[in-house]
Amino acid sequence: MRKSQILRFVVLIALLLVAINPVHGQEDEGKVVIPAGEKIKLAIATDLTGPIAQFGLDIANSGQLAVAQANEAGGIQGFEIEVTVEDDRCSGDDATTVANRVVSDPQIVAVMGHICSGATTAASDVYEEALIPMMSPSATAASVTERGLAVVNRVAFRDDVQGVVDAHYMYKVLGLRKIAVLHDNDTYGLGLAEKVRDVFVELGGEVVAFEGINVADQDFRPILTPLASQEPEAIFFGGYVQQAVLLVPQKADVGLEDVLFFSDDGVYGDALIEGAGEAAEGVYASFAETPETDPERLAAFDATYEEMFDAKPSDLGPFHYHAFDSTNMLLAAIDSVAVVDDAGNLVIDRAELVAAVRATAEFDGLTGLLSCDEKGDCGAGTIAINIVEDGAWVSVEVPEDLLTMEAE
């Protein structure tokens, strides 16, 4: 082969290598390199078309608000942040698809989400392999942070605490001695229902039924009807609002109109009142206590949210403050490890970022002073109990000893 032909061949190979391995934005030994003028990518994974789409939209809005404010303040070391919003439909299968799509983009450095516990668990295995840290504002199942994964974190409280408080409140404050427990057969609802059942029985109460429902059903009377003969004083439901808006009015159709309905954070929100109508009166649901943050900060958030999205955050869901904090905690961790190199690129080491998120300590958030433990539980505050009165959720007084309870 002539020298000129050899030279042309070498040049061709070099051009092909450049074409298939572009320098800009690629990872180098676990590092994300963002060229000057390009953006840091953050994914928000939530439910936009599934069973709790209103809650999911609230979470997406709050995350985007946090990013907008960060960009107004100059971004991270002069680099703007770009948000990619993904819809996981509160489904494990869809969440896995979303996670694989997220990790296929080498510029995404962190995920705010997922929203549901089952979706969070399914997606987390994908993120663990790719070293992409996640911060969930709302996945409360105890198992979410019990799997030993380095990338999984949450601002949400734990259901093994929520379930303990719920059971104690029903037994000690409401004076109930006989309940039925229903659940949605999912990671979140089933785990919470099991905790409520076990603690209520340990306290001396009786659980007359423990049944799973098919979330695709619209008529739950076949499940509710046999409960009438068991004469429970209350029905505890572990699950989401889409099923609760049907269960609440339908229980009256089968002779259970005087039986209390008690549920969880997946039900707490205006969607329950809108969906169940007058039947929602007297429904109980647990959620995180109202933050003790400076009221002016909360009011400022609410006003900015309403201006950006033409809706009050409370109109959509309850996790807006948690989502705002989750996003800002990720941004703070990114800022702490990002380095601008001699070429003006922003370099983010993925392993260092994973460690920085987990090392978050005393972060001053809207939901409180937040510190992550060794498992990735970062939430602050305690569990509150709420009741629907005159078409609105009202927080009820909870004894101090219940507020300070931990998982049993």
Q: What is the β-pairing status of strands 346-349 and 31-34? A: antiparallel
Give the chain's domains with CATH numbers. Answer: 31-156+319-377 (3.40.50.2300), 160-290+384-403 (3.40.50.2300)
Above 70 in pLDDT, residue 21?
no
Give the pair of three-digit tokens for residue 83.
Answer: 């948000």
pLDDT of amino acid 408: 59
pLDDT of residue 387: 98
> Could you tell me the two tokens for 315?
């109109």
Written as one letter, the residue type at 357 is V
State how far the alpha carbon of 207 is from the alpha carbons of 181, 202, 247, in Å. Answer: 7, 11, 18
pLDDT tens sequence across 26-69: 456 799 999 999 999 999 999 999 999 999 999 999 999 999 99
Q: How much helix, strand and coil, in percent to the nearest 5, is found in the chain?
A: 45, 20, 35
The Cβ of residue 380 has, within 10 Å, a number of other Cβ atoms equal to: 19
Percent share of the chain, pLDDT over 70 = 92
Answer whether 298's CB lies under 8 Å from 368's CB: no
Q: Work out whether the CA dihedral 11, 15, 18, 20 comes out positive or negative.
A: negative
Instruction: Give the helix ranges, DSSP H, for 89-116.
Output: 92-103
Q: What ranges make up the beta strands (E) of 128-177?
A: 134-136, 152-154
Over range 175-183, report the average pLDDT. Answer: 98
Asked if omega into 183 is within 30° of 0 (cis), the reply is: no
Residue 403's pLDDT is 65
| Confidence at residue 406, expressed as pLDDT on a 0 to 100 scale | 60
Q: Containing H/E element for 311? A: none
pLDDT at 407: 59
- Does residue 3 have a pLDDT over 60? no
Residue 381: the pLDDT is: 79
Instruction: Look at the chain and count its residues.
Output: 408
CA atoms within 13 A on the CB side of 196: 37
Q: How far is CA 230 from CA 179, 205, 211, 243, in A?
A: 9, 14, 13, 22
What is the average per-residue pLDDT within 99-116?
Answer: 97
Q: 402: pLDDT confidence band, cut at 50, 70 and 90?
A: confident
Neighbouring CB atoms inside 10 A of 82's CB total 16
Q: How large a percentage of the chain has pLDDT more than 90? A: 87
pLDDT tens per residue, range 112-164: 999 999 999 999 999 999 999 999 999 999 999 999 999 999 999 999 999 99
Q: Are strands 383-389 and 392-396 parallel, antiparallel or unpaired?
A: antiparallel
What tokens does 128 get? 């663990």
| Integer Cα distance of 49 and 220 in angstroms | 22
- Strand 363-365 to strand 368-370: parallel, antiparallel, or no bridges (unpaired)? antiparallel
Are 237 and 227 in contact, with CB atoms under 8 Å apart? no
- Position 404 scores a pLDDT of 62
- 213-252 pLDDT, tens per residue? 999 999 999 999 999 999 999 999 999 999 999 999 999 9
**302 touches 309 (CB < 8 A):** no
Q: Which amino acid is at 62?
A: S
pLDDT at 85: 98
Indicate the helix (H) or strand (E) that contains 401: helix 400-403
Question: Which pTM value belongs to this model?
Answer: 0.88
